[in-house]
Structure 1
Amino acid sequence: MLHKIILLALFFISISGFSQEWEKEYSRAQQIAKEKNRPIVLVFQGSDWCAPCIKLNQEVWNTEIFKKYASNHYVMLQADFPRKKKNALSENQTKANAKLFEAYNKNGIFPLVVILDSNGNKLGETSYKKSTPQQYIDEINSFIN
């Protein structure tokens, strides 16, 4: 019985160890990017209404391959624009996301993935496409290298 409890505990620890780390604050993402010398992957999404955004979450962001790679190579910054009341963001978060939108998503594309250096300079951008997590990593890295 005890060994089953230990195995279950280890299982849950291993799952939580690879959860995607999303920054919500641009200034915090910049600070981490500078400290760790990493690019920022800024993702504009409509988490509760945008079908391609939801697919990108399922097919790339939430995969173990991507989460493991991203945790060592990127600073992930999320700018979400939910529409349902139950998913509403705080007023401060909504304003912060709107500022990012004005600066980096002038055409209103969802999802939009913008690769930035630690100073906020745009290195490249992409969107949803049917691909493997590794292909998506390779595309992001093509803007960095």
Structure 2
Amino acid sequence: MKKIILVAFFFIGLSVSQAQELKWYTDVKEAITVSNKEKKPLMLFFTGSDWCGWCIRLQKEVLKTPEFSKWAKESVILVELDYPRRTAQSDEIKKQNNELQQAFGIQGFPTVYFANATVKDGKVNFEGLGSTGYVAGGPTAWLAVADPFVKKPVLSPEPAKTKKSKKA
């Protein structure tokens, strides 16, 4: 009986952990479509996943934490733009990533860029919202830097204009 209960807990835990996994897009056009549909900005993560120490550290300390996962699901569409040295990539992904590196002027890794994007006449137009990189202090510190880039300002209603009466 104990074994059955333990096996049941194992499978429940496994399904919960899989349900919490984030979707990272590698095709930026697909990500833009989802971004516009869900009305969320893109979070473009420029990384050297298999050689960049700071990229690996950002992944471990922030991007793979429950705090980040919760925030990302509510706030952004995730895009990984990888520049690996030992991991094979298709020529199409390499071309796309190199074009985006040039377009955003990325000179170092990791760089995380937040943007809205639209496609008009087959051309992509990005509206930059801000960028960051590695931030020491774990998910709380990193999210404190990233969150303002994706939060839409709440517009307060314009104060009512009152007419001053003229005294006779």
Max Rg structure: 2
Seen in structure 2, the aligned counterparts of structure 1 residues 27 and 131 have a Cα distance that, compared at 3 Å, is same
The aligned counterpart of 2:37 is 35
Work out the CA distance in 2 between the residues paired with 1:30 and 1:60.
24
Number of residue equivalences:
142
Work out the CA distance in 2 between the residues paired with 1:62 and 1:90.
25
Counterparts of residues 80-119 of structure 1 (less than 5 Å): 80-84=82-86, 87-104=87-104, 106-119=105-118
- Point out 4+ residue stretches in structure 1 off by more than 3 angstroms: none
Structure 1 alignment gaps of length 5 or more: none
Normalised by the length of structure 1, the TM-score is: 0.92
Which structure has greater helix proportion? 1
Identity of aligned pairs, percent? 26
Structure 2 alignment gaps of length 5 or more: 119-125, 152-168
Normalised by the length of structure 2, the TM-score is: 0.80
Q: Report the CA distance between 1:132 and its aligned residue.
A: 2.3
Work out the CA distance in 2 between the residues paired with 1:99 and 1:52.
23
Q: Is residue 2:21 matched to residue 1:19?
A: yes
1:65 to 64, 67, 77: 67
Alpha carbons 2:135, 2:141 under 8 Å: kept: no
Q: What is the CA RMSD across the aligned residues, in angstroms?
A: 1.3
Q: Report the CA distance between 1:5 and its aligned residue.
A: 1.5
Q: Which has the higher contact order (CA 8 A, sep 6+)?
A: 1
User: SS where residue 118 of structure 1 aligns?
Assistant: strand
Moved more, 48-57 or 115-124: 115-124
Letter in 2 for 1:91: D
User: SS where residue 32 of structure 1 aligns?
Assistant: helix
Work out the CA distance in 2 between the residues paired with 1:35 and 1:77.
15
